[in-house]
Structure formats: C-alpha cells, structure tokens
Amino acid sequence: MSISVQGITKTFSAKGNKKEKKLVLKDISFEVHDGEFVSLVGPSGCGKTTTLTIIAGFQKPDSGQVLVNGKPVTKPGPDRAFVFQNYALLPWLKVGDNIMYPMKKQGVPKAERERRLKELLSIAQMEGSANSYIYELSGGMKQRVAILRGLACDPEILLMDEPLGAVDFQMRKLLQIQMEAMLQQRKVTTMMVTHDVDEAIYFSDRVVVMSRDHGRIMADVKIDLPRPRDRTSERYHEYMDQLTEVLKNALNGEVFNDEDKDLMKFIENVETGADLTEGRSILGTEKETSAPKKERRNFLRKTRQCHDLDDKL
C-alpha cells in the first residue's frame, strides 16, 4: 500500500497564547511506495512525529493532503497501525489479551484471534509469554508486544514513533535484529520516526531527513544495501557519513534538548571514528560502566532474559 504526502502544512497554537500560531510543517511532500520501509530523521521540532500522526489520521493538516492508495486520509483506519514510543499497553491485560485487543475491537472471531496470536508470538519467539502480565516484562519485551499488537490486524501500513527509544543500547541492538526478522516476514509498508541514524540505515529502504525550517526535506536517501544489513561493511559506513553530514547541516549548531544532544553525540562519534558497534551507545549512554550497581544488575538481568528468549537468532 502506497502513501502520498502532498503539500501538507500544519500550525499549532503557541504555548500560553492560543492566538499565536506556530508553523511546524510547510508544504511537505514525499512518496512511500508499496512495501517500502522509510525512516524520518531530523532535529527536535522539525515535525517528524506531526507528519506521522497526520498520516495515521490522528490530526488533520491545515492544507494539503495525505493519500493512501489514492484515497484521502481523514481519520484513523484499520489499514494503518501505530506503534508508540512508550508502549501504550494495557497493564490490566495479559500479553496475549493485549495483542488480541485490536482484533477483538474489530470483531475478528475468537478462533481467528487465537490463530493470529499464536503466529505472532512465534515470529517474536515469545510463545511462553501469552499469559504474562505487562509488569513482568522487560522493556524490550514490552516493545515487542507493542509491535505485535500493531501487526495483529494485518495492517497494510505500520507507523512507528521512536519504537526503540525507551530501551538501552544492548537491548536496542537485539530488538533491531528481531524487528527486522518480523517485518521481513510481514512485508508491510512501514514508516518510522527515529533520531538514531544507524537504526534508520539498518531498517530502511529510504531515509528522509527533515530540517527545523518547517520540516523542509533536506535529503531523501535511498539505502541500497542487501538484507540483513552488515554494519561493518564499507558501504554501510558511507551511508553513515552521508547522512551525518546532512544532519549536521540540519542542526546548524543549535542544540535545544536531549534529542539534539543525541544527534550531536552521534555526529561527533562518526567524525572521530568512534566504534559504534560495541557496548557504548551512539546516544552517549554508558549504563554498563557508569550506572549504580543495582541499576547495572537490573540492566544485565533484563538483557539475559531477552537473550534467553532469543537464543535461536
């Protein structure tokens, strides 16, 4: 299923002054072809998430339109699933019930719900977790459940807003491998917002870089690499260098929050040749060496739990 973003413009009321309008997006256009994985990257405030929520139908543009398979998007629909950064799971339901919840809301028969649940849990290698409660899961497992719930109703488009932003470095890399395997089996048209350039290259067929200039698209880079991606290859690092330079221009030396600091840290690491494949986070987080002992123990315990579930990979 294809997505066509055609000249969308969006303003919001300024904080503390509803009469004052802030222009977030201005005349933004791009295409996503059937089956493509496209990532949106850029500094904070460039309109990445706003663009994604307009495509989802959660809000409307002031002007312009979004077409899905040639039809205008006016509201959310079952053809589009949205995965939030903070999981958005229902804590009073077990894992299986969380995944089946959207199917139940859409009236999918019980037998079919259970069949799909079994299939999805198998894809994520979580067959033994259907009866667990959300509080019993690690952050990485919660995110897998959120993605499985997004895939439960067989959407034709999957929209993900920083899906791995809430997990630590080691878990993030493990989940990237799992997500890649899951999405390659399903082959849905996918869009992802991320500020992790390495993650964007790892997943994407194309990476669209947005700027703070009302979301102006600075680059639309096709990632022509075989799957699964090899982070050690020369071509992979050429894409890293290319996108790093574009993002450096997009930031223009302006750092407003932690997301921008993350991007600046990444750019510095690439420019200095830092090792981005070891235990040090490209986001500047070094939990494995600087966290308090109790936090480190919990971190390692959660990592081992996920590795135990994923030893087949």
Averaged pLDDT for residues 98-123? 92
For residue 297, the SS3 value is helix
Six-digit token string for 291 = 């966290």
pLDDT band at 253 (very low <50, low <70, confident <90, very high): low
pLDDT band at 257 (very low <50, low <70, confident <90, very high): low
Q: What percent of the chain has pLDDT over 70?
A: 83
Averaged pLDDT for residues 290-298? 42
Give the lowest-confidence range in 60-64, 79-83, 294-298: 294-298
Q: What is the pLDDT of residue 260?
A: 67
pLDDT surpasses 90 at 219? yes
Model pLDDT for residues 63-107, shown as the tens digit of each residue? 999 999 999 999 999 899 999 887 789 999 999 999 999 999 989
- What is the residue-averaged pLDDT of the chain? 83
Residue predicted with more confidence, 119 or 263? 119
Q: How far is residue 287's CA from residue 57's CA, in Å, rounded to a whole number?
A: 37
pLDDT band at 51 (very low <50, low <70, confident <90, very high): very high
Q: What percent of the chain has pLDDT over 90?
A: 53
pLDDT band at 299 (very low <50, low <70, confident <90, very high): very low
Residue predicted with more confidence, 164 or 217? 217
191 to 39, 40, 207: CA distances (angstroms): 6, 7, 10
| Residue among 189, 227, 229, 208 nearest 81 (CA) | 189
The overall longest dimension of the chain from CA atoms, in Å, is: 57
Assess contact for 218 and 250: CB atoms under 8 A. yes
What residue ranges define each of the domains in the chain, with the CATH number in brackets? Answer: 3-66+158-279 (3.40.50.300)
Q: What is the pLDDT of residue 237?
A: 93
Q: What is the pLDDT of residue 173?
A: 82
Q: How far is residue 267's CA from residue 253's CA, in Å, rounded to a whole number?
A: 11
Residue predicted with more confidence, 128 or 272? 128
pLDDT band at 118 (very low <50, low <70, confident <90, very high): very high
Assess contact for 193 and 117: CB atoms under 8 A. no
Six-digit token string for 90 = 């229902």
312 to 86, 178, 205: CA distances (angstroms): 27, 11, 26
pLDDT surpasses 50 at 201? yes
Q: What is the pLDDT of residue 276?
A: 56
Question: Which distant-in-sequence residues (6+ apart) come within 8 Å of 56 by Cβ?
Answer: 76, 80, 82, 159
Question: Which distant-in-sequence residues (6+ apart) come within 8 Å of 143 by Cβ?
Answer: 87, 163, 164, 166, 167, 175
Q: Residue 106, Cβ neighbours under 10 Å: how many?
A: 11
Q: What is the pLDDT of residue 220?
A: 97
Give the lowest-confidence range in 47-51, 71-75, 113-117, 294-298: 294-298
Assess contact for 38 and 242: CB atoms under 8 A. no
> At CA 20, angle to CA 17 and CA 26, rounded to 5?
135
pTM exceeds 0.85 for this model: no
Averaged pLDDT for residues 189-197? 93
Question: Which distant-in-sequence residues (6+ apart) come within 8 Å of 295 by Cβ?
Answer: 287
